[in-house]
Each structure stands twice: as C-alpha cells, then as structure tokens.
Chain A
Amino acid sequence: MADLEIRDLTVQVEDKVILKGANLTLSKGEVHALMGPNGSGKSTLANVLMGNPFYQVVKGEVLYKGQDLLAMSPDERARRGLFIAFQYPVSIPGVTMSSFLRTAVSARRGYDKELMPVGEFQKLLKQKMDELKIEPAIVSRYVNEGFSGGEKKRAEILQMAMLEPEIAIMDETDSGLDIDSVKVVSDGVNRMLERAKGAMGILLITHYSRILHFIKPSYVHVMFDGRFVVSGGPDLAEELEQSGYEGIKAQFEVIAAEVQAEGAVRRAGKVFWVAH
C-alpha cells in the first residue's frame, strides 16, 4: 500500500465544487510533480491534505500510512510527518520565527510538556540556515511579517528542513523566486531527499517546469478543473513545456463533452475523464 492514497476526493468551498474526484497515490522515496493551469485546484488539494478547515470534503477518502487522514487534526497530521510549504503563507504578528520553529520542531519530535533544549535547537537551526543560505536575521523577525515573496518561500523551506517530514507538499515554492534562489531551494530539497534515504516523498506542485530541471520527479501529473487528467513520466513535463496547457485543454474539452453525452469513463491518449 502506498503511503498516501487519495481516492475520488471531492471538495467544495461554500457552494462551489473545486476538486471533482481526484485520485493519486504517492509513496516515500518518490517525487511527484503536480502541474496545471491556475485555478485548477492544486492548492485546494494541498490544503485539504493538510486539513485546512476552510475546505469541505464531500466525497472520497485519503489514507496516510493506511490510516484515515481526513479524520486527523492538522497538528496531528504534521506530527505524523506530513508537511506543506504553502503558496501563500500567512503572517503571525508578534511571534518570532525562532520561537515558532522551536515550538514546531519540539512538537514534531514528540516533546510533550517542555521544549527541545535550546542549545540543540540552535545548532540544528544554524545548520539548516547555512545549507539553505538563509540570512540568520530572519529568525528574530515575526513569522512571515513583512517578508518579501522570496523570503516567505525560503522560510517555508527552512521549516520543511527543520521538521524533516515524511511526505512533503510544496505548493509553487518556485513561483516568485529568481533562478539562483530556485537553485538554492532545489539543492536544499535534494539534500533532504538524499539524507532521508528513501524515507521522504514529495508532491511538488508547480505551474512551470523550471524547477523540475533541478528536482527530478519520478511522476508528473496534470490537474485540470479539479481532476487529474494526465499522468506520466518526467517526459510529460517536457511535452507540456512545448505544447503549453492549451494542447491538453483542447483534448480535455473534446473528451469532456463526449463523456457528458455518454455518461461513461473514457480514456483517450493520455487524457482521461471520469464522469460523476
């Protein structure tokens, strides 16, 4: 059984259905790229996996290491090794990055009443900041408060490095980063993968294939209008780069129309469609 199994996941926000039956399996040791145009539901999927209460799951299930993920609170998911690097991290005024990180790492490492010893924490933090080329000053600032777009993204990766997740979702971490930063972040992630020796899997959400030159995915999926419409190997990303989403969109629309009429499951070429 895969470590993460998403089955027929259907999600809505207020009255709008956003995910329309998503299916995906992902295991530790694998890197899955998730691509798709803006608004297709990638961030929604990421947030639902982490337990954002804003989204309502109306159908489907998610198993994490064989257990019902959707029944767990977000903090429990995190303590069990799930992580998300947010596309739009929120700021927490008045709470310093370092106190936040210490609380978070302590929780992840199973400290219950007290926190991880400060010396040990500082050492870990320094090592991770060095590796990710992060300005030490950032940890005495308030969480994401007044951070530039790039600083926010790097801070998310710092958290990922500190928490050593088993399954990490990276939601458009590359957007808004210049090429040098993409490289630093990618190096950092590759180092995490190496150190984990197969004990970490990544769902790498991206709008562009740029980052996939640095972090090599084993699988590539394309999401469109709340569904996974294409899955393939690393070459799919290349194809997409050539044809853009327009090519997929055209195929998708043809088949969607046919399926509407037939009410059946259809698969043509790489695009498939499941009617509900």
Chain B
Amino acid sequence: MAVTNQLGIDPDKYKWGFHDPEKYVYKSRKGLDREIVEMISSMKNEPEWMRAYRLHSLEHFQQRPMPVWGANLAQIDFNDIYYYLKPTEKKERSWDEVPENIKNTFEKLGIPEAERKFLAGAGAQYESESVYHNLKEEWEKLGVIFLDTDSALREHPDIVREYFGTVVPPEDNKLAALNSAVWSGGSFVYVPAGVHVDIPLQAYFRINAQNMGQFERTLIICEPGSYVHYVEGCTAPIYTTDSLHSAVVEIIVKEGARCRYTTIQNWSTNTYNLVTKRAVAYRDATMEWIDGNLGSKITMKYPSVYMVEPGAKAEILSVAFAGRGQHQDPGGKVIHAAPHTQSVIVSKSIAKDGGRAGYRGLVKIYSGANGSKSAVRCDALILDDQSRSDTYPTMEIDEQDVSITHEATVSKVSDEQLFYLMSRGVKADEAMNMIVRGFVEPIVKELPLEYAVELNRLIALEMEGSVG
C-alpha cells in the first residue's frame, strides 16, 4: 500500500535514496524555493559543489531581512519573478511590442538595426561575430580566458572553484545571497601573469541572452603583473520587462597587476538595479572602477576595493543621472587594510524632474595601515527645485598616520553660466546640456571614446525638455 505523507510525496519514489538531478524537467514558474534552485543547477549540469553552494546561498537569502538603510526596496516582490528561463524559453518579444520611447532612443543614438532588436529583447542573439572572433584568437594566444561564467564553470572548473565566492560571499548581503543562489551568465576573465590585454574586453561584443541576464555573475582574475580593461554594458537602453537586476562582480587583482572595470548602463525605468561589485587588490596592485548609471527605477551600487597588501591602489569614479521617478544611490567603498595604500573616489550625480541622486560611501582605514591616503570628492548637480541629492559619506579611521581629504559640493546650474553660454547664441537647452556634460567630463574622459560619445549623446537625450 502506498503511503502518502502530508506533503503528498510518494515515499516509494525515494526509497533508494536516489537523487538524480538530471531528471528534473524544468518548468518555468515564478517564485524562489529549493526546487527552483535545484532545477537551475541541474539544467546547467553543474558540479555538486556549485549545487550545494546555491542551496546554501538560498538559505541565507531566505533568512536575511531586506536592507532598509538605503533606497526603498519594499515594493520588490520576490515571488513575482522568474529566476531562470531556459534560453529557448525566453519569450521573444516582437518589435511592435517595444515601447515607442525606447525605439526613439535607439534611433537617436544611431544603434544599428541588428543591435536594436537584441537590446529590446526582440532578437535572440547579437554578436558582432567577425570582430569578436579575431580578438578571441589573439586573447587565446596570450592565455587569456574570456567566457561566459557558465561555460567557464564547465571548461575551467578548477579556476572557477578556487575563486568563486571568495570576494563576495553569499553572507555578504541579501542580494548577493540571491545572486549566489540563482546566478546565470556573466563574464569570466582570467589574465595570466604579466599579460597586458591592450584592447578593452567588451561584454558588448558578446551580448547574448545569457550574458545580459538578471542575475549575472562575473569573476575576473588578474595574475601578478597583468593588465586588463573590462567594459560592461552599453549606453543603449536595456529594455526588459524583468523588474530586478541583481548581479555580483568579483575581482582579484594580484601583485603589481592592474584592472579597470568600466560599466555604462541604462536600464529601463522599471528596473531595480541592485549590484554587488567588489575587488581585492594585493601588493602594489591597482583596481579602478568606472561606473555610469543611467536609467533604472532604483540603483544601489557601491563598487568596493579591499586593499589587503602594501602599496595597493583603488580608484572609483561614478556618474549617476536620476530623472523623474528615479532614485540613484551609487557610491563606493575603499578598505585600507595594509600600509601605504591609496584610494580616490570621485562621484558625480545629477538629479532632474524630481529624481534623487547622491553618494553613499565608506572609507575604512584599519589600524596599522600607516602612510595610507584617501581622497573623496562628490559633486551633485541639481537641475530643478523638485530634485534632490543626498550624500552619506562614512569614514572609519583607526590609524593616525594617514592623509584623508573629503570634498562635497551640491550645486545648481547657475543662471550666470546659462546666461554666459546663451549670450553666445547657444539655445537654452543646449546651454544646459553643455553645463551638464562639463560636469561629468572628468569621468567621461576616462571612458573609451565610443562610450564617451554615446554617453554624452545619452545625457543630451535625458536632458531633453528639461529647460523651458
């Protein structure tokens, strides 16, 4: 006689203690539980350690309360989200369903047709094959690995296992735990000792459904003396009906290596963009985060650098633009845990049409990190009376022998500046654009040229109609 327990599970099915994840047939459904996580892992044919890691992360996610110290996240309904869709299941949206304003933006930015469809989720894949292919061969000759993280886990399981989760453990925060449980896609970069990758590695070349997922996981390892510049995203609006983007980026910069990580993202305005980005910098290593945040409903993102050996350096540059109904809460964290470490944080935020943009940052200097230096500068530009800027700089300094500077400015576009430009024949809206472009110029000039041009164009679009 079959005995059915309260949960309706037929114990006979399990009497051999048989557990074969292969047999799951993944059914897409909303919500998050053990079954979903197990299914994700089995769909991907992952090693046991990753499955266990995901489940452990899930437990942590479920126990941990929502962070309440930052932007208002109360409206996120974790049960109303698909955590994994098989690539073949991803619903293709027809071009007609893409909102008019998104189409217009593509048009104005001059995004090529093929890319438009992809970016709007109305085309399955886009790869600029030829360019990417040539580059890939060059990288491979140098021993550089540049793969999506799922492939990396299959093809280089030992390296992935050695570093995965060592910089951002699931216990770090609720969203990191969520990503650790359900991650999919993202980039894996491994640069061997002494190798300088001259051309920026651009996730843009590789955008595909996997790579631009909601819960991508990126891992970059720079062996001693190496250099790499990784560029993520593009300035075209990423149109998605998914409301939550929660990525984790982990970077290990070993002795004397340098890593620059550039992000320009422009999420559609319904998206919660809650990302954990962290790097560890060893002796004389340099980590640079350059982070441009446009779009989204709420962005909370504080790229951080742990300087754990003498001579490590950190630089964090960020730009945020908040328009109507948007809350940009970017910032940065630098942890000086060794002597003679240096950090620079520059944050520029712009708020308009009732948007909120600001800076939230931490400078922590441990006792014993003597001779360390930190300079923080955050500037906010407010374009009208409805908008606001908040600055939350935290300093925890446990060492005497250090040099620290902090400068913060909040300014409005001055009438004097507008008048000056207009007195030369420049129309009011273009004058406003010029001032805003000038405000972000110190960061834009750090971007690869094509990104700088696109970002400027995008800011001009965001500014449209803000005057008069």
Q: Which positions 412-468 of chain B face chain A at CB distance < 8 Å?
A: 414-417, 419-428, 430-431, 434-435, 437-442
* Interchain CB contact under 8 A, B440 and A94: yes
Quick one: closest A residue to B445, CB to CB?
A94
Quick one: closest A residue to B438, CB to CB?
A94
Q: Which of B422, B425, B438, B441 has the most CB of A within 10 A?
A: B425
Sample (30) of A-B pairs whose CB atoms are under 8 Å apart:
A50-B419, A50-B423, A51-B422, A52-B423, A54-B415, A73-B422, A75-B423, A75-B427, A75-B431, A78-B423, A78-B425, A84-B423, A86-B420, A92-B420, A92-B435, A93-B438, A93-B441, A94-B437, A95-B435, A100-B434, A103-B424, A103-B426, A103-B430, A103-B434, A104-B421, A104-B424, A104-B425, A107-B426, A108-B425, A163-B424
What would 4 more interface pairs be, CB under 8 Å, given A54-B416, A94-B440, A108-B425? Answer: A54-B415, A93-B438, A99-B434, A142-B438
Q: Determine chain B's interface SS by DSSP, over half rule.
A: helix
Q: In the complex, what's the smallest C-beta–C-beta distance from B269 to chain A, in angstroms?
A: 26
B residues in contact with A95, CB < 8 Å: 434-435, 437-438, 441
A residues in contact with B414, CB < 8 Å: 90
Complex CA gap A259/B424 in Å reads: 41
B438 contact from A51, A77, A92, Cβ within 8 A: A92
| Contact flags A75-111 to B (C-beta < 8 A → 1, else 0) | 1011100011010011011110001100110011000
Q: A73-B422, A92-B438, A95-B437 are in contact. Are A107 and B427 (CB under 8 A)?
A: yes
A residues in contact with B424, CB < 8 Å: 75, 78, 100, 103-104, 107-108, 159, 163
* Interchain CB contact under 8 A, B425 and A73: no
Q: In the complex, what's the smallest C-beta–C-beta distance from B1 to chain A, in angstroms?
A: 80
Q: Which positions 384-424 of chain B face chain A at CB distance < 8 Å?
A: 414-417, 419-424
* Interchain CB contact under 8 A, B442 and A94: yes
A75 contact from B416, B422, B435, Cβ within 8 A: B422
Q: Which of B424, B426, B431, B437 has the most CB of A within 10 A?
A: B424
Q: Which positions 47-84 of chain A face chain B at CB distance < 8 Å?
A: 50-54, 73-75, 77-79, 83-84
Q: A90-B420, A92-B417, A94-B442 are in contact. Are A163 and B435 (CB under 8 A)?
A: no
Q: A53-B415, A90-B417, A107-B427 are in contact. Are A74 and B422 (CB under 8 A)?
A: yes
A residues in contact with B419, CB < 8 Å: 50-54, 74
Complex CA gap A103/B429 in Å reads: 13
* Interchain CB contact under 8 A, B439 and A93: yes
Q: A90-B416, A92-B435, A103-B430 are in contact. Are A74 and B423 (CB under 8 A)?
A: yes
A residues in contact with B426, CB < 8 Å: 75, 78, 103-104, 107
| Contact flags B117-133 to A (C-beta < 8 A → 1, else 0) | 00000000000000000
A residues in contact with B416, CB < 8 Å: 54, 90
Complex CA gap A75/B430 in Å reads: 11
B residues in contact with A103, CB < 8 Å: 424, 426, 430, 434
| Number of A-B residue pairs at CB separation under 8 A | 84
A residues in contact with B427, CB < 8 Å: 75, 107
Complex CA gap A95/B420 in Å reads: 13
A residues in contact with B440, CB < 8 Å: 94
* Interchain CB contact under 8 A, B439 and A94: yes
Complex CA gap A266/B427 in Å reads: 44
Quick one: closest B residue to A142, CB to CB?
B438
* Interchain CB contact under 8 A, B417 and A75: no
A residues in contact with B434, CB < 8 Å: 92, 95, 99-100, 103
A residues in contact with B417, CB < 8 Å: 90, 92
Q: In the complex, what's the smallest C-beta–C-beta distance from B460 to chain A, in angstroms?
A: 12
Quick one: closest B residue to A103, CB to CB?
B426
A residues in contact with B430, CB < 8 Å: 103
Complex CA gap A4/B435 in Å reads: 31
B residues in contact with A84, CB < 8 Å: 423
Q: In the complex, what's the smallest C-beta–C-beta distance from A29 to chain B, in angstroms?
A: 23
Q: Which of B415, B422, B428, B441 has the most CB of A within 10 A?
A: B422
Complex CA gap A174/B441 in Å reads: 33
Q: A100-B434, A103-B430, A103-B434 are in contact. Are A92 and B421 (CB under 8 A)?
A: yes
* Interchain CB contact under 8 A, B421 and A163: no
Quick one: closest A residue to B421, CB to CB?
A92
Q: In the complex, what's the smallest C-beta–C-beta distance from B319 to chain A, in angstroms?
A: 12
Complex CA gap A50/B422 in Å reads: 9
Quick one: closest B residue to A47, CB to CB?
B419
B residues in contact with A104, CB < 8 Å: 421, 424-426
Complex CA gap A86/B421 in Å reads: 12
Report, nearest first, the 5 A-B pairs whose CB atoms are least far apart: A94-B438, A94-B441, A107-B425, A78-B425, A104-B424
A residues in contact with B441, CB < 8 Å: 93-95, 142
* Interchain CB contact under 8 A, B439 and A75: no
Q: In the complex, what's the smallest C-beta–C-beta distance from A219 to chain B, in angstroms?
A: 24
Q: In the complex, what's the smallest C-beta–C-beta distance from B393 to chain A, in angstroms?
A: 22
* Interchain CB contact under 8 A, B422 and A78: yes
Q: In the complex, what's the smallest C-beta–C-beta distance from B228 to chain A, in angstroms?
A: 28
Q: In the complex, what's the smallest C-beta–C-beta distance from A106 to chain B, in angstroms?
A: 8
B residues in contact with A93, CB < 8 Å: 438-439, 441
A residues in contact with B435, CB < 8 Å: 92, 95
Q: Which positions 200-242 of chain A face chain B at CB distance < 8 Å?
A: none
Quick one: closest A residue to B444, CB to CB?
A94
B residues in contact with A89, CB < 8 Å: 420
Q: A92-B434, A94-B437, A95-B437 are in contact. Are A75 and B425 (CB under 8 A)?
A: yes
| Contact flags A149-164 to B (C-beta < 8 A → 1, else 0) | 0000000000100010
* Interchain CB contact under 8 A, A79 and B425: yes
Quick one: closest A residue to B379, CB to CB?
A93
Complex CA gap A165/B428 in Å reads: 20
Quick one: closest B residue to A162, CB to CB?
B424
Complex CA gap A92/B439 in Å reads: 9
Quick one: closest B residue to A110, CB to CB?
B425
* Interchain CB contact under 8 A, A100 and B421: yes
Q: In the complex, what's the smallest C-beta–C-beta distance from A73 to chain B, in angstroms?
A: 7
| Contact flags B21-50 to A (C-beta < 8 A → 1, else 0) | 000000000000000000000000000000
B residues in contact with A75, CB < 8 Å: 422-428, 431
Q: In the complex, what's the smallest C-beta–C-beta distance from B424 to chain A, in angstroms?
A: 4
Complex CA gap A104/B434 in Å reads: 12
Q: Which positions 250-267 of chain A face chain B at CB distance < 8 Å?
A: none
